[in-house]
Chains A and B, each alone.
Chain A
Amino acid sequence: MIPIAISMLRHDGPKFMALVLAVALAAFLTQNQASILSAFLGMTGSQIRDVREANLWVMEPDTECFDQAKPLKQTAVQTIRGFSGIEWAVPVVKVDTNARTEAGKLSTVTLLGVPEDSRVGEPRMKLGDASAIYRRDGAVIDPGGFSLLFPGQTFKSGMKVRIHDEWLTLHGISDAAPPFTGFPVMHVSQTTAMRLNRAEARATTFVVGRMLPNADQQAITAAIRRETGWKAMTRTEFENASYDYYAAQGVPNLFYITIAIGFVVGIAFTGQTFLMFVKENARAFTTLKVLGVTHGQLGRMMAAQAGLVVFMGLGIGTALAVGVTEAAKLMPFLRALYIPWEVALACGGVIAAVTFLAAGFAFNKVLKLQPADVFRS
């Protein structure tokens, strides 16, 4: 009976298309908005994720997120190295300062100092070689930062950026994830970063480390908190903390509204269309009931119809969302945009559930069809 159900649905072209498009639209809207939201707030953890080697972050207790960090004292890294379960620990030097180009363009920039001995946090590169940052006055810059400081120009090795009274030479474009703040991110050697640190008395912004593979991570972070009074978090916890810090500012609400609209459109439109479909095919459904098709069979038929709609709608809608995301990623500031599989799955799942629910309402109408009405003409 399933093929009969499918052919019934496909025979009613306009309603079939309407159903598929409603599901596709809902899938597109929800996935697009949810992924933009998650990528947008996910940027709060860009620099945390970019230190790919570390799973432990230690900071002053006043530090709430990566961008607003109070530095630690110089011996903090040694103190962390002295904890059990720590494989290694190195300092992260972050300097927020102003940079000026030869053309006079001015911007706040984030300098990240990569330790020369371990090279922890060394960026992946789009252009050039990361080892250039260990040269005196060598630096690399993220793509978004480059287009901000050098609008409309193509990168040439040797372009210069002035910080305080020093000219840094750009040797490449890094693949650093875009920061939530939108400011350029420049990687330099830790020595250079310390030299250019004029605002803070202390140079060590964070201590990052790696906990031993089979260590109890919660026990280690708890011990560091208790013994030193500093904040110690796993990478994921710090990402979440940064995420929550910005999420608390209220930005997500706008997105939640759009996502809700997506779901409402989905349920209203598909529900309505399914009901109309049942209404217009009432004679066929009644006939099937008279001919001895059981309620179970009818239920499976409706489920198959809903399934087809979900399959096609989700396919088209998700592809649309992916396509739009891919296109948007071409812009430097949106390069971190992606659809998290959790978002795709959750949106798809909710939409599928909503569609089956709508089909369920329609099926209820089918159940109420009176077989005896078959003789009414």
Chain B
Amino acid sequence: MKIKGLILPLVAAGCLVYAVVSIAQTQPTRELTHPPSSPPRSTFENTVAAVGLVEPSSEAITIGSHLPGIVDSVLVKAGDPALKGTPLFTLDVRALKAQRSVAAAQVSQATAQVSVARESLTQARRRLDSANALNDPRAIATEERADRASEVSKLEASLASAEASVELAKAELGAVETDLERATVTSPIDGRVLQVRLRAGEFIDGGADSRLILGRTDPLHVRADVDEFEIPRLKPGSRATASPRGKAAVHIDLEFVRFEPLVIPKRSLTGDSTERVDTRVLQAIYRIVPADAPVFIGQQMDIFIEASPRQSES
């Protein structure tokens, strides 16, 4: 009787325990978790946040060629330092060398012509002198003497012409030699080779060809896009830090360089051609302070710029 009477309450108690435990276990967890990898965060009290790209402080210099032609040899690799004047690549110069030989021969030829003309002039002058010495009109005709004087004048002009030909031939030789020099392209600044997509044997037309990029990498700059609505909060010279995408724990100190004078439409950084631009941005240039910052040119950065507080927040 006692035992039997307890069955139902025990069942009910069991049910209650089951219900309570089950309900307790199935409650959705709503507590906040931490992101699997930390998102970028500001280190300033008041911040203007931006995104930007790392670039050389000289900006990227696309090296062109003076002459069109076939590349003969590339003298640098990407990453090589290049001081001003360092040869970067050379063009094929066989045709120029042939032109130089021709020009040199022409100089020799012209020089020889000068000798010939000078000799003829000497001879003509001697004959005029001898005619002048025979002061007897019967010994030599007056006419004859005039002819001899004319001959001298003509040969004097020939000599001048031959001498001018030498100058011309020398100038032509010089021109060819200048071209030969220009067939070796050198660095215009003290910088670093950033990209080489030029190989021996390729044709380069001398126009805006972007196959060799040079830039000054010490220091590096970062170009930050700031939403136009945030412009009033920006101060020139304010402190800033940058974190490379995906490495939010790294904060790299930045130093203000300048604002670009033009506010431009925001450049898409996603690389998606269908993305339509609806924002204009001010570009702020900052110098990356640490020389050994773990960044590469073209890398996307999350940038935090110390700002003046919002009027409503202050």
Contact residues of A with B, CB < 8 Å? Answer: 10, 20, 49, 52-55, 73-75, 77-82, 84, 86-90, 115-120, 122, 177, 191, 194-195, 197-198, 201-203, 210, 223, 226-227, 308, 311-316, 318-322, 325-326, 338-341, 344
* Contact status A117-B279, CB under 8 Å: no
Interface presence of B13 (CB below 8 A): yes
Question: Which residues of B27-59 have CB atoms within 8 Å of chain A's CB atoms?
Answer: 27-28, 30, 32-42, 45-51
Whole-angstrom distance between the Cβ of B15 and the nearest chain A Cβ: 3
Chain B residue at smallest Cβ distance from A79: B227
Interface presence of B139 (CB below 8 A): no
Instruction: Say which residue of B11, B36, B46 sits within 8 Å of A119 (CB atoms).
Output: B36
Binding-face segment, B143-151, B182-190, B254-262, B267-275:
B267-275
A120 to B27, CA, bound (A): 23
A317 to B48, CA, bound (A): 57
A95 to B13, CA, bound (A): 50
* Contact status A75-B279, CB under 8 Å: yes
A52 to B28, CA, bound (A): 11
Known contacts A75-B266, A194-B275; is A344 also within 8 Å of B23 by CB? yes
* Contact status B272-A120, CB under 8 Å: no
Contact residues of B with A, CB < 8 Å? Answer: 5, 8-9, 11-16, 18-20, 22-24, 26-28, 30, 32-42, 45-51, 225-227, 229-230, 233, 245-246, 248, 266, 268, 270, 272, 274-279, 281, 302, 304, 307, 309-310, 312-313
Known contacts A201-B278, A341-B23; is A223 also within 8 Å of B312 by CB? yes
A81 to B226, CA, bound (A): 12
| B-side contacts of A89, CB under 8 Å | 39
Instruction: Say which residue of A210, A312, A338 sits within 8 Å of B9 (CB atoms).
Output: A312
* Contact status A312-B310, CB under 8 Å: no
| B-side contacts of A318, CB under 8 Å | 15-16, 19-20, 23
* Contact status B16-A315, CB under 8 Å: yes
* Further pairs besides A81-B49, A119-B35, A311-B12: 19, Cβ < 8 Å: A53-B32, A53-B34, A55-B32, A75-B279, A81-B40, A82-B48, A88-B38, A118-B37, A118-B40, A198-B274, A223-B310, A316-B15, A319-B15, A320-B15, A338-B28, A339-B26, A341-B23, A341-B27, A344-B23
* Contact status B35-A339, CB under 8 Å: no
Pair count A-B, CB < 8 A: 163
* Contact status B274-A84, CB under 8 Å: no
* Contact status B27-A75, CB under 8 Å: no
Whole-angstrom distance between the Cβ of B117 and the nearest chain A Cβ: 80
| A-side contacts of B9, CB under 8 Å | 308, 311-312
| B-side contacts of A314, CB under 8 Å | 16
* Contact status A82-B16, CB under 8 Å: no
Instruction: Say which residue of A78, A120, A202, A321 sits within 8 Å of B19 (CB atoms).
Output: A321
Q: Which 4 A-B pairs have the closest CB atoms?
A: A81-B49, A315-B16, A319-B15, A118-B39
* Contact status A120-B23, CB under 8 Å: no
Known contacts A49-B28, A226-B312, A344-B23; is A116 also within 8 Å of B48 by CB? no
* Contact status B279-A74, CB under 8 Å: yes
| B-side contacts of A10, CB under 8 Å | 5
Chain A residue at smallest Cβ distance from B40: A88
A227 to B314, CA, bound (A): 13
A10 to B7, CA, bound (A): 12
A308 to B12, CA, bound (A): 10
Known contacts A49-B28, A319-B15; is A88 also within 8 Å of B274 by CB? no
A202 to B275, CA, bound (A): 7
* Contact status B45-A84, CB under 8 Å: yes
| B-side contacts of A54, CB under 8 Å | 32
Known contacts A119-B36, A226-B312; is A195 also within 8 Å of B272 by CB? yes
| B-side contacts of A49, CB under 8 Å | 28, 30
* Contact status A315-B15, CB under 8 Å: yes
Whole-angstrom distance between the Cβ of B282 and the nearest chain A Cβ: 11
A10 to B6, CA, bound (A): 10
* Contact status B276-A53, CB under 8 Å: no
A81 to B36, CA, bound (A): 19
Known contacts A78-B227, A117-B245, A338-B27; is A73 also within 8 Å of B16 by CB? no
* Contact status B272-A194, CB under 8 Å: yes
A223 to B270, CA, bound (A): 29
* Contact status A340-B227, CB under 8 Å: no
Instruction: Say which residue of A80, A115, A315, A326 sits within 8 Å of B13 (CB atoms).
Output: A315
Chain B residue at smallest Cβ distance from A55: B32
* Contact status A90-B39, CB under 8 Å: yes
Chain A residue at smallest Cβ distance from B307: A82
Whole-angstrom distance between the Cβ of B298 and the nearest chain A Cβ: 16
Known contacts A314-B16, A319-B16; is A194 also within 8 Å of B28 by CB? no
Among B23, B245, B278, B313: residue with most chain A CB under 10 A: B23
* Contact status B32-A340, CB under 8 Å: no
| A-side contacts of B22, CB under 8 Å | 322, 326
Among A82, A313, A316: residue with most chain B CB under 10 A: A82
